[in-house]
Amino acid sequence: MRVGRTLGAALVLAAALAGCGTGGGAKSVAGKDTLVVGVSKDQPGLGQRQPDGTFKGFDIDVASYIGAHMEKTPKKVVFKVVQYSEREKAVQTGKVDLVVSSYSITPERKTKIAFAGPYYVAHQDTLVRRSDTAIHNVRDLSGRRLCAVNGSVSWQRVTVERNVPAHLVQAATYGDCLTKLTDNSLDAISTDDLILAGFALENNAVRFVNAPISDERYGVGIRQDDVTGCEDINKAITEMYLDGTAAKLLTKWFGKTDLKLTTTVPQFEGCG
- Helical axes 58-69 vs 245-254, angle rounded to 10°: 160
CA distances from 3 to 9, 15, 17, 205, 219 (A): 10, 18, 21, 78, 50
Structural domain for 147, as ranges: 123-215
pLDDT at 55: 98
Residues 100 and 144 in one domain: no
CB 155 within 8 A of CB 167: no
pLDDT at 19: 36
Residues 186 and 232 in one domain: no
Phi and psi torsions of 229, nearest 5°:
-65, -40
CA distances from 238 to 120, 164, 225 (A): 11, 38, 22
Query: Which CATH number is 29's domain given?
Result: 3.40.190.10
Residues 178 and 225 in one domain: no
**pTM exceeds 0.75, yes or no:** yes
Give the span between the Cα atoms of 75 and 231, in whole angstroms.
Answer: 16
**Total domains present in the chain:** 2
pLDDT at 243: 97
DSSP letter (8 states) at residue 108: T
Report yes or no on 268 lying in a domain. Answer: no
Low-confidence stretches of the chain (pLDDT < 70) are 1-26, 72
Q: Which 3 state secondary structure label does DSSP give 129? A: strand
